[in-house]
A and B are shown apart, each in its own frame.
Chain A
């Protein structure tokens, strides 16, 4: 039976009454979640507002009064450090006539002066003053006209998140079972120090933001979507990075974990055994052999470990709604409109390693982010095109559902299953549904 849950509400307030459950079934979701502008507008308020959203990394704010311009959904915001080092996030919107007060990407500033009429605000949001204040009369109360604030800002080991919801659980609880995976990724740095570097890869695609999230935990697509990469790896010999996706992945050692709160992870590490194995299975790259020779000559006792941490972490961690940890990169999903999205790949270096290791880590930007991501983005655009068929209403996410022997639950309540199980989609749509319905965590 085909159900046609056309969204009839025309305002955000009316849309709240829509039974979102009609759009998110156990095994499928309705196409309008990817195509309807009203759904998108609701998401920007409820998903990118009422739960913890990744904003920036602390290494991007290295000193007192540092700032980074970013967004919370569609809201332009400025993440700042005050002069004592405390973290804040304020709306980049002048209290006077709404112009952005900061148009720089990053920098150091203890105050922001709106370029339009000169209203000036502290980096914690308070209004310092408006030019020629006598024009506002004697009752002008500056305390009423500060920049709006992202009311809750918290950092987990350098990853800064923000939410406008007072009801959201503490950040550490929201990350929940994703924390040990994030810890693993951070602790690949010997001293736990991760530094986001400049020169991010920014790529825009003509598709809905959730298409990137659908794909991030998807172990089903690589054999087909990344066929050119796999074939190249095959020409260079078997067992190069990701070529294992070309075998029968459901019988292999890789697993996907549904971590709760919309988070999931693909663990590729069981494909590798012993020190040096990750490095040995990386794809060819110009200069790679020379680099390995250098590391082995300079650090003969420690070469395998150093080579392994030059390559990616071999996990694909998706933290709902906008943070993806892939390889050595921190990838951020930035919705622009219902059918426009920007993905940013931030390269990272780490402390406590020889500089050569970080050079190679930076060069991983030349690998999957430059080489594989275009495959994915081409698919996102083609899905968005396909979704224009109004007569076909549903997008399936039923792979692995009720398949005997695939899913097990570990002692922490995490569901572990075959790597092509679409449980990552079913998991995050549950969280999406909760947020869109305004239900408590």
Chain B
């Protein structure tokens, strides 16, 4: 009997340790995810303008970005958020 109960306690203790470790891990992942949110939000707001067809030199309010890097960045961003897809509010077209 005693051996059987000891076994239960050991299982319980192990589950508690696992639970504690998982909770710690969740908290760490939540912190990490929260710290990434502003970066993702800013990247979503990033204005990228391909100036090459215009034959103009962008003024000093623009900064150059490597084209391949930008493409990869957009590809990575596209997979970040399925709950709040990357979108903008379209101007309403009233048709009463």
Chain A residues engaging chain B, CB cutoff 8 angstroms:
69, 83, 102-111, 113, 118, 120, 128-134, 202-206, 334, 336, 340-342
Contacts known (A128-B54, A129-B55); A106 close to B89, Cβ less than 8 A: yes
- Complex: chain A residue closest to B51, CB-CB: A129
Q: Which residue of B lies closest to A334 (CB)?
A: B94
- A202–B55 CB distance below 8 A: no
Residues of B within 8 A of A202 (CB): 92, 94
Residues of B within 8 A of A336 (CB): 94, 96
Cross-chain contact of A113 among B49, B55, B89, B95 (Cβ < 8 A): B49
Q: Work out how many contacts link A and B, with CB atoms closer than 8 A.
A: 56
B55 close to A104 (CB less than 8 A):
no
Are B61's CB and A205's CB within 8 A?
A: no
Q: Is the CB–CB distance between A111 and B49 below 8 Å?
A: yes
Number of interface residues of B (CB under 8 A): 17
Tell whether A103 pairs with B90 under 8 Å between CB atoms, given A109-B47, A131-B53.
yes
State whether the Cβ of B66 lies closer than 8 Å to any Cβ in chain A: no
B32 at the interface (CB under 8 A from A): no
CA separation between A128 and B56, bound complex, in Å?
Answer: 8
Q: Do A103 and B54 touch (CB < 8 A)?
A: no
B41 to chain A, nearest CB (A): 12
The distance in angstroms between the C-alpha atoms of A106 and B96, with both chains bound, is 22
Question: In the complex, which residues of chain B have a beta carbon less than 8 angstroms from the beta carbon of A131?
Answer: 53-54
B residues sitting closer than 8 Å to A (CB atoms) are: 45, 47, 49, 51, 53-56, 61, 88-92, 94-96
A120 to B59, CA, bound (A): 14
- Beta-carbon contact of A105 and B89 below 8 Å: yes
Residues in A neighbouring B90, C-beta threshold 8 A: 103-105
Instruction: Assess the A205–B96 pair: CB atoms within 8 A.
Output: yes
Q: How far is the CB of A123 from chain B (nearest CB, A)?
A: 11
Q: Which residues of A contact B56 (CB under 8 A)?
A: 128-129
B51 to A: closest C-beta gap in Å = 8
Residues on A with C-beta less than 8 A from B55 are 129, 132-134
Residues of chain A within 8 A (CB-CB) of B89 are 104-107
**Which residues from A are CB-within-8-Å of B54?**
120, 128-131, 133
Complex contacts, B92 vs chain A, CB 8 Å:
105, 202
- For residue B94, give the distance in angstroms from its CB to the closest CB of chain A: 4
Contacts of B96 in A (CB 8 A): 203-206, 336, 340-342
Q: Which 4 A-B pairs have the closest CB atoms?
A: A204-B96, A129-B54, A131-B53, A342-B94
Q: Is the CB–CB distance between B47 and A110 below 8 Å?
A: yes
Q: In the complex, what residues of B have CB within 8 A of residue A334's CB? A: 94
In the complex, which residues of chain B have a beta carbon less than 8 angstroms from the beta carbon of A205? Answer: 96
Considering the complex, give the chain B residue whose CB is closest to the CB of A134.
B55
Cβ contacts A to B, 20 pairs, < 8 Å: A102-B91, A103-B90, A103-B91, A105-B89, A105-B91, A107-B88, A107-B89, A109-B47, A110-B61, A111-B49, A118-B53, A128-B54, A129-B56, A132-B55, A133-B54, A202-B92, A204-B94, A204-B96, A206-B96, A342-B94
Chain B residue at minimum C-beta to C-beta distance from A106: B89
The docked-state distance in angstroms from the alpha carbon of A194 to that of B64 is 39
Q: Give the CA-CA distance A28 to B73 in the complex, in Å.
A: 65
Q: A105-B91, A129-B55, A131-B53 are in contact. List 8 more A-B contacts (CB 8 A).
A: A69-B91, A104-B89, A110-B47, A120-B49, A128-B56, A130-B54, A132-B55, A205-B96
- Min CB distance B46 to A, Å, is 11
State in angstroms the CA–CA spacing of A109 and B91 once bound together: 15
